[in-house]
Chain A
Amino acid sequence: MSNFSRSLAVLALAFQLVAQTRLTGAGATFPAPIYQKWFAAYQSAGNVQINYQPIGSGGGIKSVTEGTVDFGASDAPLTDAQLATYKAKNKYDVLLFPTVLGAAVPSYNLPGVTGELNFTPQVLAGIYLGEITKWNDPKIASANPKLKLPDMDILVIHRSDGSGTTYCWTDYLSKVSSAWKSKVGVANTSIEWPTGVGGKGNDGVAGLLKQQEGAIGYVELIYAVKNKLPFGRVKNKSGEFVKASLMSVTAAAAVMKEMPADFRVSITDGAGAGVYPISTFTWLLVPAHYADSGKAQAVKGFLHWAITKGQEQVESLEYAKLPKTVVAQEEKQIAQIR
């Protein structure tokens, strides 16, 4: 064996070793910052290297179903049809693991109004259906008795790109308004909007909000906090006006009485003290079986770390933590991965 071919063999072996301890994932953009932080921290603690591509939830579901990545990520729970497609293609199930929580908040540009607006579910649905068109509408005024609201047209802004934030927002509207459900339909990452204009991304919505007086738009809680956008309180099912915060979002998950075994659950429109009603989980999509047992072990190790130690890091990036009950239930599901 020549020196050259020997070094080639060593090189090939080295690549193989690296390949064994590397995972790739793709999907949702909303949790991407915390995922990137987790993967970096996990690797520097001497564990596997994980590459994550934030290509969007739809892309994450597609990639994991086609087996081009080791795990996916989605801001919307998989539908029955998507689960069935996965099983038909791969012969085993895909498991959903909630990782962190997020929320959508109503932000607005109302000159001369100081103080936070209160929104009832009926007001939000009415505005987004195009039925409430003025800021001094009696329905808005009665929820905000202390504020002097201007006689100004409302411009509705929504996301134009498919997004988990839109999923959460429309999930909420379809729960609180039967008119919304019959006219527009159930939650989705993109829908046919009855009114308003679309902005691309959180920054697109925020840009339009800044530009147009009288505008209302929904943005991700993290984005609103980081960019100091004003946003209003929303009335929850118990009749309390709650402002979105890390605590009130975690509370929305904690009050869940029965968490389904597969974690496919919507926590919007929750009841209970201090519950912010437009909150949502975001999920990792993990195959129940890996042909490579090394990968299975690596994934299990990471999931365990993410829902325990990893949770200590999430609040620094303004994500809400998982409630303890959910963590305990997820540990059981981790054991199912083979």
Chain B
Amino acid sequence: MASSSIAGSLRHRANRGVLARLRGGDEISYLVTLACAVLVFVVVVLIVAKLWGNSQPAIRAFGWDFLRTSRWNPNSGNFGALPFLYGTCVTSAIALLIAVPTGVASAIFLAEMAPPKLSNLLTFLIELLAAVPSVIYGLLGIFMLLPLIRSYLVPALKGTFGFLPLFQGSFYGVSLLSAGLVLAVMVVPFIVSVSREVLLAVPTEQREAALAVGATKWETTWDIVLPYARSGIFGSIFLALARALGETMAVTMVIGNTPKITASLLSPGYSIAAVIANEFAEASGDLYVSSLIFAGLVLFGLTIVINALARILILATSQKAAAA
């Protein structure tokens, strides 16, 4: 289809003057936007190709074992990325678990309930949060959040859910839980600001119709507005998830950087992005460097898999909604 349109545009070109074509702009805008879209595609392909090429020594040496083993020993040349994969998934899950309900709830308040002036002010502040550099979040995490977690959150968790293996063992401040909490703060702005825009874009007629048939304000929001905006809200969550999976600086400052897999969220862990940032500059030897690049490829793969799963989820829920 694209090629026939180009061919068509070329045929037109013969019949029209240059100025006329510039004024009309159809062909030019088509070609310019096409070039931009192709450029994005090319960049992604180049990244994957480069990662794949440079991780060949590690792929040959470890294969799938890279994803199944948990030793990371630069001295003996044994590399397994399972603890990093685990840490990345767990911290992102904690972050979403906290950020999604909080973020969507605040977006509902800002879009549906708050007076416009207050809504604009709060939105401005929340979007400001998204612009804070991640190293600042890391520092705030170490010096403000960790003491609070140690003195209040951990005793409370141990007191109520202490029987779960998730909240056992000693707590040193840096941990999967701390990293997840810092990530939650970092990704909330994405969810709030995108979800609010999406909710505001829901046509007023939808609300008026619901109110006209006797629905309360909350029923309108919950049953009409939210389902209408669902795919946009999901989009904001994926954006947040992508940020959480790839976040490096803030995570490495509070996660403890220990490549071990433990059931307890209170113990230190490690993430893929953090290990690459920590070790890449000083890594020497082909296998070591290529293992770190392989870890990057794994993170890329993980992002694709999660995105695909999310899309399937949207598709499934929207079909169910359509059937109902």
Chain A residues in the interface with B (C-beta under 8 A): 55-59, 61-62, 82, 153, 155, 160-163, 184-186, 188-193, 196-200, 204, 207-208, 211-212, 215
Would you call the interface of chain B mostly helix, strand, loop, or mixed? loop
Among A191, A192, A200, the residue within 8 A (CB) of B252 is A200
Q: Are A188 and B74 in contact (CB under 8 A)?
A: yes
CB distance from B147 to the nearest CB of A (A): 7
- Chain B residues whose C-beta falls within 8 Å of the C-beta of A61 in the assembled complex: 284
Q: Are A56 and B282 in contact (CB under 8 A)?
A: yes
- Chain A residues whose C-beta falls within 8 Å of the C-beta of B146 in the assembled complex: 211
Q: Is residue B161 contacting chain A, with contact meaning CB distance below 8 A?
A: no
A1 to B190, CA, bound (A): 60
CB distance from A99 to the nearest CB of B (A): 19
A103 to B71, CA, bound (A): 29
- Chain A residues whose C-beta falls within 8 Å of the C-beta of B142 in the assembled complex: 207-208, 211
CB distance from A207 to the nearest CB of B (A): 5
Complex: chain B residue closest to A54, CB-CB: B281
Q: Are A198 and B147 in contact (CB under 8 A)?
A: no
Q: Are A190 and B253 in contact (CB under 8 A)?
A: no
Q: Could you pull out 29 A-B pairs where Cβ atoms are within 8 angstroms?
A: A56-B282, A57-B284, A58-B283, A62-B284, A155-B172, A160-B278, A161-B277, A184-B75, A185-B76, A188-B74, A189-B282, A190-B278, A191-B73, A192-B71, A192-B76, A196-B258, A197-B256, A198-B258, A199-B253, A200-B253, A200-B277, A200-B278, A204-B252, A207-B139, A207-B142, A207-B143, A208-B142, A211-B147, A215-B172
Q: Is residue B265 contacting chain A, with contact meaning CB distance below 8 A?
A: no
Q: Is residue B170 contacting chain A, with contact meaning CB distance below 8 A?
A: yes
Q: Are B282 and A58 in contact (CB under 8 A)?
A: yes
Q: Is residue B66 contacting chain A, with contact meaning CB distance below 8 A?
A: no
Chain B residues in the interface with A (C-beta under 8 A): 71-76, 139, 142-143, 146-147, 170, 172-174, 252-253, 256-259, 268, 274, 277-279, 281-284
- Chain A residues whose C-beta falls within 8 Å of the C-beta of B279 in the assembled complex: 161-162, 190
Among B72, B174, B277, B282, the residue within 8 A (CB) of A163 is B282
**Also in contact, A197 and B174, with CB within 8 A (given A56-B282, A58-B283, A162-B279):** yes
Q: Are B281 and A212 in contact (CB under 8 A)?
A: no
CB distance from A284 to the nearest CB of B (A): 17
A82 to B283, CA, bound (A): 13
Q: Are B73 and A189 in contact (CB under 8 A)?
A: no
Q: Are A55 and B253 in contact (CB under 8 A)?
A: no
A211 to B171, CA, bound (A): 12
- Chain A residues whose C-beta falls within 8 Å of the C-beta of B75 in the assembled complex: 184-186, 188, 191-192
Among B147, B253, B281, the residue within 8 A (CB) of A59 is B281
